[in-house]
Structure 1
Amino acid sequence: MTDFTEFHDELRSLARGLLAKSAGEPVSWKTVTEAGWPGLAAPPEFDGAGAGFAEVAVLLGEAGRAAAVTALPTVLALSVPALAAATADDLRDNIFRETVTGRTLPVLVLDAGEADNAFALDDSPAGPVVTGSADFVLDAPAADLLLVPIPAREELVAVVPDAAGLTITPTPLVDATRSAARVSADRVAAHAVWHFPDQDALRARAAVAVACDSLGSAEAMLAATVAYVRVREQFGRPVGSFQAVKHACADMLVQVTVAGHLVGAAVRAIDEGSADSAIAASRAKSYATSAAVRVAGAALQLHGGFGYTWDSGIHVHLKRATLNRALYGSPAAHRKKLAARYH
C-alpha cells in the first residue's frame, strides 16, 4: 500500500468535520456527493479519484466515529467495487458515472447475516429474470438501483427497486443509525446483466468495512471517556485520578490499539490483493467488533449516571457496535474460519 499519510490526514480531518455537523441526523447524499466521496475509489475515466481501499478505510472509520446515518459505507465498500469488477458496457459505464455524481445510489444485495445469497438468474421469453431472496441487506431501503450477485453464474444483475415482483421489506432495528431490509425477487426482470468473477472477495471486504466502522466508534468512545473523567470530580478531585478508572481507561486503550493493528493489516491485505486477505479480514472482524462493544460498555460505566442519559450519546455507539458485531459473520464464525486453518 502506498504511503499517503498526509492525504489520509487531510481526508480524515475533512470527513470528521463534515460528519460531525450531522449530529445524529441523516447525512444528505448531496453533501456526500459534493465532497466527492462516492467517487473516491472509482476509476478516473468515470471522474473518480482512483483511490484504493486504504483511502476508503479512512472514510469508513470516520463514519463509525461519528455514528453517521448514511449509505456511504455500503456504496464505498461494496457497490463501487462491484461495478468496477463487472464487465464494461455502455449501461454499466453510465451507472458508474451517475454513482460518482450522486444521481444514482446503488446498493449491492449481499446478505449481512450468516447466510449466503440465494438468488438465481433464469431465461424467459421476455429476457433474464431474477428469483430469490436475501434476509438482511444494509441500506436497501435507500437504493435507487439494486446490484444482485449470482455466484453460480458469475454474474451481476442490476434490478430497479420498483420492478414488478420485487419486494423490499424494511427491517426494524434498535440501531437507529442504520437501515436494512429483506429483498425478495419473484421472477423480476433484469435491468442489466454483467459478467462478475471473484465474488468471494465481497464478504471479506464487507467484514473489513464493518471492522473499520467499529474501530472508529471505539476510538470515539475512548476519547469521550478520557475527556469526561478528566473534568468530572468526586471527593474534590477528577475521577480520572482514581487508580480503578485509570486501569479501565488503559484497558480500553489496549483494546483500541490491538484492533487498530488488526484492522490496518486487513485493509492493507485487501488494498494489495493479498492471498491472505480473507484471513486478515476474519482476524480484524472478530476482534475489532467485539472490542468496540466492550469499549462502549466501559464508556457507559465510566460516565457514571450521565452515561445512561440520552444526551451522552453513548447508547448510539453501543447499539451500532452491537449490530456491527453480528454483521457479515459473528466473531465466533470468523474465529471458526481461523481455527480451520490448523486442522
Structure 2
Amino acid sequence: MTLDLTADQRLFQQTAREFLAETVPVPTVRALGEAGTGFDDRWWRSAAELGWTAMLVAEEYGGGSVSGRPMTELALIATELGRACAPGPFVTTNAVLAGLATARPALADTVTRIAAGISIVSWAVYEPGRGLDIVNALADRDAPPDGEWARAVRDGAGYRLTGVKDRVEAGDRADILLVTAQSADGPVQLLVPTDAPGVTVTPTWTLDLVRRTARIEFAEVAVPAESVVHTGAAAAAAVRAQLHTAAVLTAAETVGATGKAMEATLAWLTDRFTFGRPLASYQALKHRMADNKTWYEACRATAAAAAAACDDDPESAAEAVSVAKSYVGAKAPVIGQDCVQLHGGIGVTWEHDLHLYLRRIGLGRALYGTPEEHRRRITDLLLTAA
C-alpha cells in the first residue's frame, strides 16, 4: 500500500485549498456561524461542481474519481475542509452516496441531483440516547440490538415510518433524508423528503460554529415503494459503507483542523519573544511540540491508511476505519488543547481563531463513533475473526 499522491491528486487537493481560501475564509466562517445559516446553497453547488460529491457516484450519473481511488481523494478534500473550518454537508452527503451507490436505477435522478449539489441530503441514523451501537450492529451483524428505534411498517408496496432520529448532520437544511429503520423485513433504508407530512425538523446546537445538526421526528410518514432504497442484507451492507465513509472523512477532517492548529501554534512560538528569546527556544516547549508532532503524524497515517483500505478492499476495511477514528478521536483533542495552552491567554479568546479548530476537533471526536465506541468495535471484530 502506498500513501503517495499522484500529480492529479495533488492538483485536486491544491484546487480545493485555493477554493476554500477564496470563498470561505475564516471571517466568512465566523459570519455564517453568527447568522445561523451554516452554509450557502450556491457555495455548496460550486463545491459540487469541483467534484466533491462525485467520487462515489457512477460515471453514468455524472460521477467519477480523479484516479480511481475515491476514498483517498475524498479524504484529501476532508482534510482541506478541516484546515479551513469550512461549512457544508460534505461528510453526510458522501455517506449517503456511499449507500446509494448500489441503489436501484430508479433513483438515478435523485443521485444526480445530490451529486450536483441541487438537493441537500442527510444521513439519519442516530437514535436518541444511543451511540453507535445500532450502526455497528447493522454494519457487522446485519441485525439491530434490542431496544426501541425507528420502525417502518408495511403499507402496500411502501412503508409507514415512525420514530425519532437525532444528531442528523445538516438536517435543518436538508431536502431529503436517508433514514435507517427496522421493519418486519429486517433493516430498511428509506428516502424521505423533509417536507413530507408527519416530518418535524428541530435544529439542534453543536460545538462547531457552522456544522449544524437536527432532531427529526417521523409520525406515520408514508414512504412510497419508489423511495425504498435497501432492505435486509442490502440495507446492512449500505450502513456499513456509510459508516466507513463518514468515519474516515471525519477522521481526515479532524486531522486537517489539528494540523492547522499546530501550524498556528508553531508560528506563535517562533514569533513570540520572552526575556529576549523566542518561546520556541525553550526546551520544555520543544518537548511538548515534539510529542504533538509525533501524535499528529500518527493521526495522519492512520486516517490515510483507512481511506486506502476502503479503496483497496472495502469489505475488509472495518478494522482500519475504526483504528483511525479511535486514534484520531483520542489524540487530536489532546493536541488541540495543548495548542491552546501554548498560546497562553490569547488562546482562549473569542477573537483568536484557535477555538474554531478546537471546536471542529471536538465535533469530529463525537460524531460517527467516539474513540470508545470504535475501540469496542475493534474488539468485536477481533473476537469474530478469532
- The TM-score with structure 1 as length reference comes to 0.91
Question: How much does 1:303 deviate?
Answer: 1.4
Of 273, 278, 289, the residue aligned with 1:238 is: 278
- 2: CA distance, partners of 1:205 / 1:126: 30
Partner of 2:120: 105
- Give, in angstroms, the shift of residue 205 of structure 1: 2.6
| Structure 1 equivalent of residue 162 of structure 2 | 131
Report the CA distance between 1:124 and its aligned residue: 2.6
CA shift, 1:245, in A, is 1.5
Query: Residues 71 and 142 of structure 1 are in contact (CA less than 8 Å); yes or no, is this contact kept in structure 2?
Result: no
Residue 14 of structure 1 corresponds to 15
CA contact (8 A) 2:96 2:242 kept: no
148-157 vs 18-27, which moves further: 148-157
Measured after TM superposition, the shift of residue 154 of structure 1 is 4.9
SS of aligned partner of 1:228: helix
How much has 1:254 moved relative to structure 2?
A: 0.4
Stretch of structure 1 that moved more, 199-208 or 60-69: 199-208
TM-score computed with the length of structure 2 as normaliser? 0.82
CA offsets 1:169-219 (integer angstroms, 9 cap, x no match)? 111223212111112211112151123511333223322221111111111
CA distance in 1, matches of 2:356, 2:246: 21
Shift of 1:163: 0.8
The alignment status of 1:224 with 2:264, answered yes or no, reads yes
Equivalent of 1:47, from 48, 62, 70?
A: 62
Output aligned runs, 1:61-140, within 5 Å. 61-76=79-94, 78-89=95-106, 92-111=107-126, 113-116=131-134, 118-124=149-155, 127-140=158-171
CA displacement 1:317-338 (0-9 Å, x = unmatched): 1122122212222212222233
Structure 2 CA distance for partners of 1:127 and 1:195, relative to 1, 3 Å: closer
User: Do the aligned partners of residues 151 and 253 (structure 1) sit closer, same or farther apart at CA in structure 2, a change above 3 Å counting?
Assistant: farther
| Secondary structure of the corresponding residue to residue 111 of structure 1 | coil
Q: Secondary structure at the match of 1:85?
A: coil
CA RMSD of aligned residues (A): 2.2
Instruction: Determine helix, strand or coil for the equivalent of 1:312.
Output: coil
State whether residues 73 and 209 of structure 1, in contact with CA within 8 Å, keep that contact through their aligned partners in structure 2: yes
Map 1:163-178 to 2 at 5 A: 163-178=196-211
TM-aligned CA deviation for residue 315 of structure 1: 1.0
State the identity %. Answer: 31
Greater mean deviation of Cα atoms: 79-88 or 216-225: 79-88
Aligned pairs for 1:285-324 within 5 A: 285-324=325-364
SS in structure 2 at match of 1:128: strand
- Counterpart Cα distance in 2 of 1:127 and 1:179: 31
In the TM superposition, residue 275 of structure 1 has moved relative to its aligned partner by 4.0
**1:149, 1:172 → 2: CA distance?**
23
Deviations 1:110-148 (A, max 9, x none): 228435273322223694222222222111111111111
> What secondary structure is seen at the aligned counterpart in 1 of 2:105?
coil
User: Within the alignment, does 1:265 sit opposite 2:305 as a pair?
Assistant: yes
Moved over 4 A (4+): 1-4
Q: Aligned partners of 1:339, 1:189: CA distance in 2, in Å?
A: 39
Matched, 1:215 2:230: no
Residue identity in the other structure for 1:193: V
Q: Is the 8 A contact 1:201 1:278 kept in 2?
A: no
Partner of 2:228: 193
SS at match of 2:51: coil
What is the identity, as a one-letter code, of the residue corresponding to 2:44? W
